[in-house]
Structure 1
């Protein structure tokens, strides 16, 4: 039985004795950074697609006939170096390579030649292809199109979506010829939670504080200073709201929590609706290549809270992220009580 993409409450109902291990987002981020650095030593042109997915350009680096041997050795080397089982697929189209990677898990290595794309992927579900979203999926369903092979026979269905549809059609054919685009900088980092729909706004804001605290811990550990923040909520029955905001401030936990509460309050235009999803993410990091001028009015205060962050990190590293919580979270300690102990 596969529990992939299953809500935790549903998984526990199906498997009452299921052992649930808590996630460690900081560890995932740190491992992602280490793995990317390792991959860049092996494949100079790397594009990060997600926290645990990359595209790599082997053109001019590996002969076609040596590709399978190269990716197999790379897979095995990563397992030995990081104790991390991964899957690698290669194809002329990076989107076909991603599709095949999803199909040959776990711990697979596979090369799909261009001339074999149509035959190999003919029977795959259209919804398995990256980029086929809910709207296109519904449209295809009305035309009784279930597989990639069927969709390839009717390009006009996708062409009706303009440039987006034409791009998607060529990706599905494996004829997109899109380059691997390396990004030297981290694009963003975030956290989100799905939960049983809640009407009580006090409980919603309690969860917002917790999410902001966890995200702050990761941002501080990675020595990042984001200046753009994105917030999103989803209501029961499909309504949703989201907004991003750019503020040039020296990052600190106090600032993020206050901003998160304020933005969620601003987004919450349906106070009689239950909320079941909250997301907070950050991007546009200030560094030597992306210089920012911080607000003079807030800088001195932010400097003090940033220093406090470093003290909090030491305790949380030793005792866990929940070792120091806010009174508004319930069941924890007021932050000012803890500050006296670590000053």
Structure 2
């Protein structure tokens, strides 16, 4: 029996959320982003016809579409509506993976025994729109890669079904940029040797591709051939990552404590981005010299940015550390995780900030976490097993 994997994607999610509460925004070019030096987080189809795209500098977007309305965006609203959509899907689907704030994978293998898989998925999509007011696109195919590509090709609301015997026929004429994992650098490299379509890439020897672009070469070759055995991983809100630091000597040095916190946040945030997670809950923990332990937490808009998380951690620490006794341990936990790659707050930060994070992460990935660090957090050095990053 073949697999039946669905990819569901909320159409122009941030834009659709804003339009729910303001009908005057319907039908106009709309850009969600922040500041003259910020970048586009999302844009309406009306703006896309002018060439506006996500991650584009706001200034460039307004040069292309000067009549567009720019809104800062409300991540609290988007998180709330994303949770509502998640509940509708989870109640109905047997296995659900939340890939990001606005997209989902469903494994409905075997559904054809009782009900047409495409018909069932179409009815679920209508249920999402009916109960939340948000439009959603989907594609049904044999694996996650093909269904994700098909969703993009079918938008808006052109829901596709790609059976196993038509996978190659569907993929072959498409640009290699449609393959997940093929970024601008890989695209430029392959284009220079004439590889621009998925068919050409699929016919290339896998070993040659691996020598050209490294360890991801085999995975990209498999995706070009419609091969993807990755399972749909059931989604749960209970996943978290955390780290703790036990001091060699109990301390009351605020500057030292905050420096260690900065280093801990930087390490956890790098892990979030590396594994494509976003966190919505920040928890800080302190243990006094007499072993009294206290914690405090706060909700945040989904993020994986060091500077955003550091501000929240510092605020929590100031509120929590009131007794002015010596501390023996401090810890941080990020929970309420969802899959996502929004590496910075696109509503407030700049193109330069986005480029800085990408450059730092590349250096850390290649040379190790300690290759580049903020001066403020350089004093953080793991000194016991409890400081090893933990996944729950």
Contact 1:170 1:176 in 2 (8 A): yes
Aligned-pair Cα RMSD in Å: 3.6
1:177 aligned to 2:229? yes
Cα 1:130/1:298, change in 2 over 3 Å: same
SS of the aligned residue for 2:110 comes to coil
User: How many residues get paired?
Assistant: 220
In the alignment, what sits opposite 1:321? none
1:41-80 to structure 2, matched below 5 A, reads: 41-63=91-113, 66-80=116-130
Contact 1:114 1:174 in 2 (8 A): no
Moved more, 170-179 or 91-100: 170-179
CA distance in 2, matches of 1:89, 1:108: 9
Deviation of the 1:62 alpha carbon: 4.0
1:3 aligned to 2:52? yes
CA-to-partner distance for each residue in 1:305-330, whole Å, 9 max, x for gaps? xxxxxxxxxxxxxxxxxxxxxxxxxx
1:78-227 to structure 2, matched below 5 A, reads: 78-154=128-204, 155-160=206-211, 161=213, 163-185=215-237
CA distance in 1, matches of 2:308, 2:100: 14
CA distance in 2, matches of 1:97, 1:85: 18
CA-to-partner distance for each residue in 1:55-76, whole Å, 9 max, x for gaps? 1100133449812211211121
CA distance in 1, matches of 2:94, 2:75: 27
Contact 1:48 1:54 in 2 (8 A): yes
Deviation of the 1:48 alpha carbon: 1.4
CA distance in 1, matches of 2:195, 2:161: 27
SS of the aligned residue for 1:144 comes to coil
CA distance in 2, matches of 1:26, 1:127: 32
Deviation of the 1:91 alpha carbon: 0.7
Unaligned runs of 5+ in 1: 190-225, 233-245, 257-277, 284-293, 303-343
Deviation of the 1:179 alpha carbon: 0.9
Cα 1:58/1:153, change in 2 over 3 Å: same
Deviation of the 1:132 alpha carbon: 0.9
Contact 1:45 1:57 in 2 (8 A): yes
Contact 1:90 1:112 in 2 (8 A): yes
Contact 1:124 1:147 in 2 (8 A): yes
Cα 1:59/1:301, change in 2 over 3 Å: farther
CA distance in 1, matches of 2:163, 2:203: 21
Contact 1:47 1:181 in 2 (8 A): yes
CA-to-partner distance for each residue in 1:41-90, whole Å, 9 max, x for gaps? 11121111111011110013344981221121112121111111110001
Cα 1:150/1:16, change in 2 over 3 Å: same
Cα 1:159/1:282, change in 2 over 3 Å: same
CA distance in 2, matches of 1:119, 1:280: 46
In the alignment, what sits opposite 1:230? 269
Deviation of the 1:98 alpha carbon: 0.4
Unaligned runs of 5+ in 2: 1-48, 242-264, 272-282, 287-294, 311-315, 324-392
* Aligned with residue 30 of structure 1, among 80, 85, 110: 80
Q: TM-score, normalised by structure 1?
A: 0.56
Cα 1:52/1:280, change in 2 over 3 Å: farther
CA distance in 1, matches of 2:139, 2:102: 14
Q: TM-score, normalised by structure 2?
A: 0.49
Deviation of the 1:17 alpha carbon: 2.2
CA distance in 1, matches of 2:74, 2:227: 39
SS of the aligned residue for 1:301 comes to coil
